[in-house]
Structure 1
Amino acid sequence: MAASTATSSGVKTSFQKKGKTKAVQIKGTRPSLHNNLLIVSSGVPSFDFILGGGIPVGSVILIEEDTYGHHAHLLLRYFLAEGIMTDHQLFLASANEDPEKILKNLPYPVEGDKLLAEDAKTGADVSSVSEPMKIAWRYECLPKVQDSATSHKFGHSYDLSRTATSDLLSRVKTGTFHLSEEMKKETRSSHPFLCPTHQRLLERIEREIKDGEFHLTENAQSKQSLNRTVLRIGLQSYGSTLWWDEGYSNKVETSTSLCRFFHALRALLRNSLAVAMVTMPVHLLHDFVEVRRLERLCDAAVQIESFAGSEKETNPIFQDYHGLLHIKHLPRLNSLMVSTPDSMDLGFKLKRKKLTIEKLHLPPEFSDSVSRPQEDTVLPSGGGGGAGCSSTLQKRHLDF
């Protein structure tokens, strides 16, 4: 029952002015401008812009690896490095490379826009920074994804030429999962519907969420403090052949185990202060329907296509890019509408110190050898009265 208060006229009333309650703020997070969800940065501002400002907390992001997996693993390293700078707890799982080794090779953070200033001084990408475009002037005012993302600063900048120091790694709590070591331990089966390797990983993630009190249940909310943080989960090359158990390698259940794992993982993260980024070599899965099913079981999915080892590497059309970024689907949480970028044709550049994602701008004009790969066909000369007409068309190059 509300206590009565006296007004200036001496009449008592039971109404009280509602005071402002201080909301719990978590470092490294902010509400989304589209659906007011809590989001975190991926470490790459241009990638945050594509996802609608950042990665929603409680979601699963699928990164479909390129052939060699280099660029997808680089996005995962950015994701983990951003967690260190925002004091988020980390959990990294891998079946091939030692997770401890991956954490020691995270990019080094730089203060402010110091990295961008250094690139300008060294002359990196000078043609697009200082010198105005002389050809196809109408393309000069087109915005890039990177420029649109940096209008609202969110996240940090990193230098790929340097690795994070041990002092930075020690400032946050990290958990690792190396499949070869974890399978040697004996645990009780709690998820019999999964492959043993997938089951062991899901149990470990549940333990990390429970021990860190990242659950958003009523009992957990009563124990919340003002210094809460977010759990960042990274799975490298999940779904490769190393993640399959020998007894399940030739069974049909191996394909359904992946779908069951993503379904259980997303349900687990929905009620937790956690976010997961999963890189998967989908090119090893020959079933297109299975790939589409895995994409829909995640909240967002993007595919990375690298030009390394392909014909596009020597194609002059893509000479300014190192690969393409294909958007499969974007996060659609608590909203009927999805925030889409200005352009769905995206390419990425990997420089010495940073990774940028931009709109795909094709060259407006090519040389004769590129624009006209073969000579114009010569019409055959006919007999009789048509010889004069056909002779005028022979050996003539028409330019339109």
Structure 2
Amino acid sequence: MSFVKRNTVLSARPGRPPAQATRSPEKQQLAPGIRPSPLDGRPTTSTGTSSLDQLLAGHGGLPLGTCLLIEEQGTTDFSGILLRYYAAEGLVQGHNVHPVGYPPEWRHQLPAVAMTDTKSKAAQPPPAPEEKMKIAWRYEALGNAAPADASARADSKNGTFCHAFDLTKRLAPSSCKGSLHPTPSTCPPILDQPNHLSTTSPFKAIIKHLQTKLSTSPLTDIHRIIVPGLLLPTLYSPHCNHPSEVLQFLHSLRALLRQHPSQLTAIITIQTSLYPRTTGLVRWIELLCDGVLELIPLPANPGAPLLPPPASSFSSSASGSEKSEQPQGLLRVHTLPVYHEKGGGGAGASSFRETLAFSLSASRGLVIKPYSLPPLEREGEGQGNGEKKGGGGTDEIEF
């Protein structure tokens, strides 16, 4: 049995190439507004709504290469506000935004970046130095570790992941780092032309436009597709309602998402008042999307119409903030984007079992949180304290 001294270096075997020093692979620099998912590390981007990012199966954002379908009941436009946040976030981060059915002037309807958070941080004076307790040097850094931030607005190495927006202001051109690319179908449909004479489908023109943009842009560019009000009569011609047209478009869009899993995301909205979920067409549309959410607005009064509050009605007063925190609708989660083909997304599985509500305000945006009923008022609490029935009656009954 041979022995070898510990301080001697073993030579390499003859005929065997020398072992190369193992180097840790350099981390690929992500594009602005992109960060890895905490579940599987796939790149994710923000929807512009912090509470919606935390709802997407624990990814902390919308994974690239996936599509999200937002259904809405009634005549409200809360889903349209989510699309504005999604588009504004893309333009601020420097992404390419492709709206379907909207003209280029739609840029002037996007909300501006709120400056309240940055001003409050800059106005805070530096903290006074505190006396440090003499502890071991290896445990000294534990106190300085920042806690895990549950919100998606935490600043990362690539900058802010999710910005805060103000609905009362409009997005300034100086804040836009990205570009808006309207699709060919943004023009209104030609109503005087018969349906049987239209040979080219608008959906095919949209897919061709997206294929051209993706093939000519660099691999580091991020693209966002916005499809508002799918099959809405004011945006699409009547022959687009045929299942052969819309389903073929969604199949092609899904193929683009799978071909460009690190560049492309999409959000689609549809009105379930015109196209209920009980129809087979809507069921097929849901199957072709990776995530399905449903917004159910709640009327403020039993006889009041279901309309979102206008931007001019938002105020920063205390009474306005209290009203904005009241739930304005319910949110149902039907499907969430999973992180592999066999299933997953266990972090967001609890959202299927609990009732969620959403509220809209100018400063905080659209906030999604668990729904809870307000406490019931006691009987007679609304009556005056000095009022007594029967003249000499007493508050308590004596037996």
The alpha-carbon deviation at position 291 of structure 1 amounts to 1.6
Q: d(CA) in 2 for partners of 1:159 and 1:173?
A: 20
SS at match of 2:167: strand
In the alignment, the residues of structure 2 paired with residue 107 and residue 23 of structure 1 have an alpha-carbon distance, to the nearest angstrom, of 34
Equivalent in 107, 110, 124 of residue 111 of structure 2: 107
Aligned equivalents of 2:249 and 2:296: distance in 1?
25
User: Which deviations, in whole Å up to 9, do the C-alpha atoms of 1:25-63 show, x marking residues without a partner?
Assistant: 222111111222211011111000001211010111111
Q: Which residue of 2 aligns with 1:207?
A: 212
Percent sequence identity is 23
Unaligned runs of 5+ in 2: 1-7, 122-148, 156-160, 191-198, 306-323, 382-399
1:38 to 37, 43, 47: 43
Contact 2:93 2:178 in 1 (8 A): no
Deviation string for 1:56-91 (max 9, x for gaps)? Answer: 101111111342342101000111111122211111
Match of 2:180 among 171, 174, 187: 174
Superposition map of 1:303-318 within 5 A: 303-308=294-299, 311=302
| 1:238-253 → structure 2 map (5 Å cutoff) | 238-242=230-234, 244-246=236-238, 248=239
**2:372 pairs with 354, 357, 361, which one?**
361
- Residues 322-378 of structure 1: per-residue CA shift (max 9 Å, x gap): 1111111100231522231644311111123322111111113245499xxxxxxxx
Aligned partner of 1:275 in structure 2 is 265
Alpha-carbon contact 2:70-2:292 (below 8 Å) kept: yes
- Partner-residue secondary structure (3-state), 2:41: coil
Following the alignment from structure 1 to structure 2, what is the Cα–Cα distance between the partners of residues 182 and 364?
A: 49
1:350 aligns with 2:354: no
Residue 332 (structure 1) aligns with = 338
2:74 matched to which residue of 1? 67
Identify if the C-alpha distance between structure 1 residues 105 and 115 changes in structure 2 by more than 3 Å, giving closer, same or farther: farther
1:304 and 1:102 mapped to 2: Cα distance? Answer: 23
Per-residue Cα deviation, 1:134-175 (whole angstroms, up to 9, x for no partner) = xxxxxxxxxxxxx94358554111111111112223x32220
Q: TM-score, normalised by structure 1?
A: 0.67
With over 3 angstroms needed to count, the CA separation of the structure-2 counterparts of 1:313 and 1:112, relative to structure 1, is: same
Measure the CA separation in 1 of the matches of 2:45 and 2:183.
Answer: 23
Partner of residue 131, structure 2: none
Q: What one-letter code is carried by the residue in structure 2 that aligns with 1:239?
A: L
Residues 114-133 of structure 1 aligned to structure 2 (within 5 Å) = 114=118
Which among 220, 227, 233 is matched to residue 235 of structure 1?
Answer: 227
SS at 1:279 equivalent = strand
- Conserved 8 A contact 1:347-1:358: yes
The reply on whether 1:19 has 2:27 as its aligned counterpart is no
State the 1:11 CA deviation: 3.9
**CA gap 1:262/1:358 in 2 versus in 1, 3 angstroms:** same
- Asked whether the 8 Å contact 1:66–1:281 carries over to 2, the reply is yes
CA contact (8 A) 1:196 1:245 kept: no
Distance in 2, Cα, partners of 1:262 & 1:15: 51
Counterpart Cα distance in 2 of 1:195 and 1:288: 27
CA distance in 2, matches of 1:369, 1:267: 63
Query: 1:59–1:269: 8 Å Cα contact kept in structure 2?
Result: yes
CA RMSD across the alignment? 3.2
Q: How many residues align?
A: 302
- Indicate conservation of the 8 Å contact 1:44/1:78, yes or no: yes
Structure with the largest fraction of helix: 1
1:183 deviation in Å? 7.1
Find the counterpart in structure 2 of residue 149 from structure 1. Answer: 151
Check the 8 A contact 1:195/1:245 in 2, yes or no. Answer: no
Contact 1:295 1:328 in 2 (8 A): no
Closer, same or farther in 2 for the Cα pair 1:195/1:294, shift >3 Å?
farther
